[in-house]
């Protein structure tokens, strides 16, 4: 049972990283960035390509851990740049439009990014360099409950979530994000650059998605153009489960969803039913508490 719970937490932590991007954008703009799953995929591709470049220069083989950290940093920068461009092109012109307009734009951007990846990288799976994965092979960790890769994913994800919490609650940029979330007009009157803050929110959320993409590709050993669709859908489910717009809720929802899937795989007669089980739990929570586990009922401004 302990092993199942730890595996669920490791899987759920990757969902939580992506769910944070959904909930941050919704909290600031009140819209769902359905292209976020494709940003996750882009991060996985960027990390693998950076490691491939390092292999050609002999860096990955000689210093695999340093190469992995450097590749993760490159993936973060690539995804942040793409996300800021997406916000500027697809969302900023539609901030005051009808609610359906940015939703349709987000779906269109998701399709565009999927095809963009296929046109530039092809449809074949990109294999994660073995020199890096080999570092994490060997004896399991935490008393044999987790593989080394799963332990790294859990530790890295929790570290990223802690860093995000500190940034939002303890820094000037975090205060600006919270101010824009509550009242953009008043925040602007108080000297907050609303456009820059929103772009920064997109960039920060995409950075977490990039980290998640690299870690998931490390775990499974490859990446493919449509991997972000299913993972993005589950991350969105996690954000809604925890309370869309709530950062702690996204963390809790992601971890809880991972544990539910792990328990479903272990105890259901057909392991593939775990996906249905996760959505049934979401449905039950929304029927009892529509705002999610940690969401708050929004007050209507008059």
What is the tens place of the pLDDT at every residue in 44-101? Answer: 999 999 998 888 888 888 888 888 889 999 999 999 999 999 999 988 888 888 878 8
297 part of a folded domain: no
Provide the pLDDT for residue 206: 92
Element (H, E) at 82: helix 64-86
Nearest to 46 by CA among 10, 80, 21: 80
Beta strand residue intervals within the chain, DSSP E = 126-127, 222-223
299 part of a folded domain: no
**CB proximity list for 193: less than 8 A, separation 6 or greater:** 176
Provide the pLDDT for residue 146: 74
Q: How many domains does the chain have?
A: 1
- Please write the tens of the pLDDT for every residue from 257-300: 988 888 888 877 777 777 787 778 878 888 888 888 887 665 54
pLDDT surpasses 50 at 301 = no
Average pLDDT value for the chain = 85
- Please write the tens of the pLDDT for every residue from 121-149: 888 888 888 888 888 776 566 555 677 78
> Do residues 256 and 12 lie in contact, with contact meaning Cβ atoms separated by under 8 Å?
yes
296 part of a folded domain: no
**CB proximity list for 122: less than 8 A, separation 6 or greater:** none
164 part of a folded domain: yes
294 part of a folded domain: no
184 phi and psi angles, rounded to 5 deg: -60, -40
Provide the pLDDT for residue 41: 93
Element (H, E) at 222: strand 222-223
**SS3 state of residue 289:** coil
Q: What would the mean pLDDT of 32-44 be, rounded to a whole number?
A: 90
159 part of a folded domain: yes
Residue with tokens 């977490």: 208
Q: What is the CATH number of the domain that holds 111?
A: 1.10.3470
Among the ranges given (2-16, 79-93, 100-114), the one the predictor scored with the smallest mean pLDDT:
2-16
């Amino acid at each position: 049972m302990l092993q199942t719970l730890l595996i669920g937490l490791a899987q759920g932590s990757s969902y939580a990283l992506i769910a944070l991007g959904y909930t941050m954008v919704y909290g600031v703009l009140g819209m769902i960035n359905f292209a976020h799953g494709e940003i996750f995929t882009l991060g996985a591709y960027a990390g693998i390509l950076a490691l491939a470049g390092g292999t050609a220069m002999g860096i990955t083989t000689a210093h695999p851990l340093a190469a992995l950290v450097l590749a993760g940093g490159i993936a973060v920068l690539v995804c942040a740049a793409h996300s800021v461009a997406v916000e500027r092109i697809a969302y900023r012109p539609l901030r005051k439009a009808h609610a359906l307009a940015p939703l349709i734009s987000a779906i269109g951007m998701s399709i565009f990014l999927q095809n963009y990846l296929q046109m530039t990288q092809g449809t074949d799976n990109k294999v994660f360099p073995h020199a890096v994965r080999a570092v994490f092979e060997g004896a399991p960790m935490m008393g044999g409950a987790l593989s080394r890769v799963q332990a790294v994913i859990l530790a890295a994800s929790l570290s990223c979530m802690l860093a995000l919490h500190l940034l939002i609650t303890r820094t000037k940029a975090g205060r600006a994000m919270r101010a824009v979330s509550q009242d953009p007009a008043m925040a602007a009157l108080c000297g907050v650059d609303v456009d820059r803050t929103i772009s920064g929110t997109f960039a920060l959320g995409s950075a977490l998605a990039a980290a998640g993409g690299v870690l998931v590709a490390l775990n499974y050993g490859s990446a493919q153009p449509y991997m972000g669709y299913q993972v993005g859908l589950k991350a969105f489910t996690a954000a809604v489960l925890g309370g869309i717009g709530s950062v702690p809720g996204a963390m809790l929802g992601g971890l809880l969803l991972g544990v539910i899937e792990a328990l479903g795989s272990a105890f259901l007669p057909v392991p593939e039913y775990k996906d249905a089980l996760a959505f049934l739990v979401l449905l039950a929570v929304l029927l009892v508490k529509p705002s999610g586990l940690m969401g708050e009922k929004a007050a209507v401004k008059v």
